[in-house]
Structure 1
């Protein structure tokens, strides 16, 4: 990467390389050379078809880079801009958590309250507290799997519908409260329902009154486009890829029985919509005292421990990392209905990264790690290229020590760890057998171990900063 001030020619080349008909630029390259490096990073991804979205990067609350790449509406060819609104998917959870925090501050509930106090439909799941739901230690099973098996998919399910399903089917708990950590969309669905029942307001109304309006977040709201459709100006449509049609499509084109469609009435684990400008307002407010005080801040941005003293690395709606290089980082990602979202707050150094995309394709990339490296004046890492036959040899099913089946998938010349039906993490090769999870902090590596015949026997996953060193044996 070359500094912008070296020659005017470099700046001209950069401007030419940006496709003027599909990009909006708002960054201060004259005053901050990091902006040019960030633009180069994202422009290269955009040119390769690996990025379609908006980016905002700030230091000490000052925007150093803000830019949109690509299309908001494939049918009309409407372009994204710096005010375009995206669905946030699981980044919504931090707002649900803040709604609970506000109710606690008002004295209307306690973090230690049993959830059955507010949700009698869940009387079979006693001793789970509100705090368990906030930090994913409740042990409740996944509502999406429950709905997939038991819901009439000709209808759009709501929170109350899912709670009725739990009451009728009574699926077994995954574990006892605070025994383990397991990421739970179910928990945040329940938290949203608790907010509604305690406040007497709809979830979206409560968040608007307590968070969005006070912070002047005029382009942030709860929106379920299929359950309660309405006209929204400057909205980005979310796109997925259809293998059969060989093109990008809206999730709705998959039919009513596609999970994104029949679960569109659910709030709490998702369904907040916003843009980068509003999310920066949110970021700044979390440093101040209008919404929360220092005691609240410590709860929200601190990892909790399970019964065996294991750290969860999760606060209230935020993943929590402590790194030697970057200090304490609070972040969250999201993926749903063609949208991919990410927000990161470097708490010790006051740096903010906001990335919103409206293409969820196998080729889509989220260059979190290199964005962070540029912010800290480090060289951008370039991955090595491995032959596809080598990558394919690693793809398959693996069984962990806890008897969980994991999948390593090969798609579009890349290797991925499959986390769920709509979310997978790219594995970036750094040697013939070792890969780094793209954008993850603290760094996570996967090393494939071969037997004497050169066949893949297992993989080892290591996250040194968190003391994780585990293996999974190949089963097929």
Structure 2
């Protein structure tokens, strides 16, 4: 339930009251423009050292009724749920009910034919299991809701081959976290929602946070942000308007890879708890916020439920993003500077934007830079020159460039594709992560720029 794992960049912070006021004004200007441009509809909370620097709602909670969002509106978190799932597993390990290196067959004997896959592999996306969503789109009876148990049943039935041997590489997997949700239920004897409520939400006084499947187990929730998407004609609609055969309907019974619902204020409580030892100790946190060592000795940038970024000059941060039909979510925690970015949106369209890079720059008193070239539109013939698979000697992933409906997309190995905006001189930008792609089709070359970093790629 995730579209992008946004790369993390950091900057140096200075915090005084006057600067905080100046930052708040800049944040307000940034998100007001995004809202007016129809690229942002949601809630924003930005904090430094636990103090809220900026908090505001932009837009509507329900496009049909035009009711407005407010600071306590509840959003579906999509893949921002994954850190909670990982924490559930960590707490079960502390209770002695499982071990990270237990084979998944200990809890899911139906999948014992998948050899050497451990709980740890599920946590850090190194299991090699294919994503369940494609399997269900192909084989599932769309008139029925699918649950985590059905993932087990369908995988046992069809036995899809693993993509690689466990711990050979990293590849983001919703299947892994859905199976972790199932393991939490098996190991604890409670439902996924009840276990998280008892062990995480209640102890942290996250009163507006819960596991909720709006179609599978519908109920009335006050102040709830209803998710909306854009149809092929550019009209804003509910995913439910597309009928029961649409994946968000029949996959609504799944938990673990998504389905935690929360508010920006509750997520700040979650953020603060991770600086204390209320749930876990320092040893646990060292594991959570540390990348994974693969069989070849290389490190990934994903720990237990968090993407990790570290820079000698700016420090270390962890983040997770989420995308599910109707919702676009993001949380980032700069551990070195104690800065927190929480962005929750109840809209998911090709234009939906999470301006995390701009937020970081404002937080750290840096000038927001924009692409200086003018926007343009390229025809299919021109775009086709840029398509292909690009690789670089000093870059661990390949980048696949595709186009759809006159929009150029880029996709790094193991991550979902992201859309770009076209500018003159063969420049394509992805503002969410401060990325520019510059193509030289005559030489089959591409330059990837992010901040001060440049990486040179050749088309294969």
Normalised to the residue count of structure 2, the TM-score between the two structures is 0.88
> Could you say which residue in structure 1 is the equivalent of 2:171?
182
How far 1:310 moved relative to its partner?
A: 1.8
How far 1:259 moved relative to its partner?
A: 1.3
Counterparts of 1:465 and 1:156, CA distance in 2 = 48
Q: Deviations over 1:348-386 (max 9, x none)?
A: 000000000111111111111000000000011222323
Counterparts of 2:172 and 2:425, CA distance in 1 = 32
The answer to whether the 8 Å contact 2:361/2:367 transfers is yes
User: Which secondary structure state, in structure 2, belongs to the residue aligned with residue 97 of structure 1?
Assistant: helix
Q: Which has the higher contact order (CA 8 A, sep 6+)?
A: 2
The alignment covers a number of residue pairs equal to 437
Alignment of 1:82 with 2:71, yes or no, is yes
Alignment of 1:326-341 (within 5 A): 326-341=314-329
> Could you say which residue in structure 2 is the equivalent of 1:451?
442
The answer to whether the 8 Å contact 2:409/2:419 transfers is yes
Alignment of 1:438 with 2:426, yes or no, is no
> Could you say which residue in structure 1 is the equivalent of 2:334?
346
> Could you say which residue in structure 1 is the equivalent of 2:420?
427
How far 1:156 moved relative to its partner?
A: 1.1
The answer to whether the 8 Å contact 2:79/2:323 transfers is yes
How far 1:316 moved relative to its partner?
A: 0.6
Counterparts of 2:296 and 2:399, CA distance in 1 = 24
Specify which of 177, 192, 217 is matched with residue 203 of structure 1. 192
> Could you say which residue in structure 2 is the equivalent of 1:269?
257
Alignment of 1:117 with 2:106, yes or no, is yes
Quickly say closer, same or farther: Cα 1:30–1:130, change in 2 above 3 A.
closer
Counterparts of 1:186 and 1:469, CA distance in 2 = 33
The answer to whether the 8 Å contact 1:134/1:315 transfers is yes
Quickly say closer, same or farther: Cα 1:378–1:460, change in 2 above 3 A.
closer
User: Which secondary structure state, in structure 2, belongs to the residue aligned with residue 32 of structure 1?
Assistant: helix
Alignment of 1:408 with 2:406, yes or no, is no
Counterparts of 1:405 and 1:436, CA distance in 2 = 15
Alignment of 1:382-401 (within 5 A): 382-384=370-372, 385-389=374-378, 393-394=382-383, 397-399=387-389
- Structure 1 unaligned blocks of 5 or more: 1-27
How far 1:448 moved relative to its partner?
A: 1.6
Give the superposed CA RMSD.
2.7
Quickly say closer, same or farther: Cα 1:467–1:405, change in 2 above 3 A.
closer
Alignment of 1:41-190 (within 5 A): 41-190=30-179
Normalised to the residue count of structure 1, the TM-score between the two structures is 0.86
How far 1:190 moved relative to its partner?
A: 0.6
Counterparts of 1:119 and 1:468, CA distance in 2 = 43
Quickly say closer, same or farther: Cα 1:144–1:101, change in 2 above 3 A.
same
Q: Deviations over 1:246-304 (max 9, x none)?
A: 41111111121111111111110011110100000000000001101010000000111
Q: Deviations over 1:42-63 (max 9, x none)?
A: 1011111111000000000000
Counterparts of 1:48 and 1:392, CA distance in 2 = 29
How far 1:430 moved relative to its partner?
A: 7.7
User: Which secondary structure state, in structure 2, belongs to the residue aligned with residue 295 of structure 1?
Assistant: helix
The answer to whether the 8 Å contact 2:377/2:422 transfers is no
User: Which secondary structure state, in structure 1, belongs to the residue aligned with residue 187 of structure 2?
Assistant: helix
> Could you say which residue in structure 1 is the equivalent of 2:293?
305
Quickly say closer, same or farther: Cα 1:262–1:38, change in 2 above 3 A.
same
Alignment of 1:224 with 2:217, yes or no, is no
How far 1:392 moved relative to its partner?
A: 7.7
> Could you say which residue in structure 1 is the equivalent of 2:279?
291
